[in-house]
Structure 1
Amino acid sequence: MMYQRRRNTDFIDSITSHRSVRKFTDEKIPSEDLEKILSATRTSSSSSHGQAYSIVNVSSPEKRELLVDLVGNQPHVAISSHFFVFCADLHRINALGKREGIDMKTSMETTEMFIVATVDAALAAQNTAIAAEALGYGIVYTGGIRNNIEKVSNLLHLPELTYPVFGMCIGVPIEEEVADVKPRLPFEAIYFDDEYPTFEKVENYLNEYDLEMKEHYENRLTGKRLNKTWSQVMIDKRKEPRRLDIKDYLKKQGFPLL
């Protein structure tokens, strides 16, 4: 039987209209919608079908309030309907190996398995985000979960061979507070045929993008308006090393990255 391609342009429109939401109503996501979202999460791609991730749904108001400060004073962590922490998780497969009397330690400590688990968590999170937005909810990723990574890990009782990759707020947006869609890098700066080009070959596209983003920063609907280009913002944000405690934390969690 010939495979019948399914086309859903509305779904593509949903993906391409993504924007981060940081202002939510106090409305809770109904259980039937949450089940649909998590069904999409569970069907995400994973390396060798290992599904090397776990999600901690932080439902305790007390823990949510603690996390607001731990992630960098982000009040939406407490306000959103749900706050998920996506974790890279090799603990489960390691425990299964122990049950069978098989020493998995050296394999679990490799950089390759660390990448596998991190990517699995990211793929599961993106499925979650896409499903939530398709149902009309708003989301925002929370990389600030790594600002105080060990304290977050202790708060959530994360076992060895796991770590929190990022959080995600999901909820009902306050419409007038929804940000506009940010312009993205042009295809010519991110999509290449056969080989990676020299920087000089993409520099003009980046310069054009800088002008587009400068206009966006100056006129955006929400957030602080800036008189800067994208390049300037990125350099300002990345020029100083951040979160230098993570390497030692990962070693404690059983990720020496062999």
Structure 2
Amino acid sequence: MPNTHAGQTDRVGHTPFVDLTPPGDPVAHRYGEPGGTGGTILPPTIELQLNHRSVRKFLTEPVSDAQIDLVITAAQSASQSSNLQVWSVVAVRDDDRKRRISAAIGRQSYVEDSSVFLVWVADFRRAANVAEAQGASAETLGYIENTLVTAVDSGIAAQNALLAAESLGLGGVFVGALRSNPAAIIQELGLPDYTFPLFGVALGYPDPSERAGIKPRLPRTAVLHQERYDPTAWLAAAEVYEDRLQEYFAEHGRDNYSWADTLTKRISTVDGLHGRDSIRGALEAQGFASE
């Protein structure tokens, strides 16, 4: 998170949250490495990225329209495939609507408590309208390439958006649970054909009482391959990671956490998909046959 402090004011006139960024080396903190006190000097943008943490508890102070405009402008500044620009965002502020969305995805308090809930929508409806106005059909929208393009570009843009929000003193969390009940979200937001709710971003001013830390990531050696993929590169790194992540969760009141167990539960059975095993039908109903 940004190195702002209580009492400072951001450039759109709001008071940012109390800075909870730990002192020391942000690279070491990101990997949960011991002795992270070196104080590596980094460009501000990279330091902001390394200090990212998910925020699920918010103050009641509202996020302004001017801030949301900047966040979306930052999102639109992200790279897009062939300049198709095939995503949209629905900004949900209405408390009743947020509660209904939260109920539809299993009661996520941070959706209800956020100042604004941004729903990222795969959107080929606009592109189809443009093609139809040119006298052409949109016959390729059922192909998986276009499904992938809108999902990939949405993710790229949304990360830009969250980084921009954090630079304004805001915090947020991505919410993939929308895909557990897409039909309800489609109805709630009035989404037409060739659109699909991919994920949400709950935004607001972080409540400093939530002592969320910087969750360690896998050591770099597990994910960075040189020239060719090394299928064994992750083995030693994963052993180190298990220990570091277990220490992190123990500090936050959750003992005996295992990354390997969590990952296994997520991918080993259909139950781990939390209802998302039926997502193909929902996609097809919206025009995304993904053939």
Give your verdict on TM over 0.5: yes
The residue that corresponds to 2:235 in the other structure is 203
CA apart distance, 1:180: 0.3
Matched residue SS, 1:176: coil
Alignment-mate amino acid for residue 155 of structure 2: A
The residue that corresponds to 1:139 in the other structure is 172
Matched, 1:108 2:137: no
CA apart distance, 1:72: 1.8
The residue that corresponds to 1:87 in the other structure is 121
Give yes or no for contact 1:27–1:81 (8 Å, CA) kept in 2: yes
Matched, 1:38 2:72: yes
Cα distance in 2 for partners of 1:134, 1:236 equals 35
Matched residue SS, 2:277: coil
Matched, 1:226 2:255: yes
Cα deviation per residue 1:50-89 (whole Å; 9 max; x = unaligned)? 1110001112222111011112211111211110000111
Cα deviation per residue 1:23-52 (whole Å; 9 max; x = unaligned)? 001110133322222221121110011111
Equivalent residue in structure 2 for 1:126, among 141, 159, 162: 159
Alignment-mate amino acid for residue 17 of structure 1: N
Matched, 1:215 2:247: yes
Q: Which runs of 5+ in 1 are unaligned?
A: 1-6
Alignment-mate amino acid for residue 269 of structure 2: E
Matched, 1:47 2:81: yes
Alignment-mate amino acid for residue 215 of structure 1: E
RMSD: 1.5
CA apart distance, 1:138: 0.6
Equivalent residue in structure 2 for 1:240, among 229, 252, 269: 269
Give yes or no for contact 1:23–1:178 (8 Å, CA) kept in 2: no
Give yes or no for contact 1:145–1:164 (8 Å, CA) kept in 2: yes
Q: TM-score, normalised by structure 1?
A: 0.91
Cα distance in 1 for partners of 2:240, 2:149 equals 35
Q: Which runs of 5+ in 2 are unaligned?
A: 1-40
The residue that corresponds to 2:212 in the other structure is 179
Moved over 6 A (4+): none
Matched residue SS, 2:209: helix
Give yes or no for contact 1:21–1:178 (8 Å, CA) kept in 2: no
Matched residue SS, 2:90: strand
Give yes or no for contact 1:88–1:118 (8 Å, CA) kept in 2: yes
Give yes or no for contact 1:72–1:147 (8 Å, CA) kept in 2: no
How many correspondences in the alignment? 247
Give yes or no for contact 1:24–1:172 (8 Å, CA) kept in 2: yes
The residue that corresponds to 2:15 in the other structure is none
Matched residue SS, 1:244: helix
The residue that corresponds to 2:28 in the other structure is none
Cα distance in 1 for partners of 2:92, 2:80 equals 24
The residue that corresponds to 1:97 in the other structure is 131
Cα deviation per residue 1:100-150 (whole Å; 9 max; x = unaligned)? 220112x11111111111111111111110000111111100111112111
Cα distance in 1 for partners of 2:219, 2:192 equals 41
Q: TM-score, normalised by structure 2?
A: 0.81
Cα distance in 1 for partners of 2:240, 2:199 equals 31
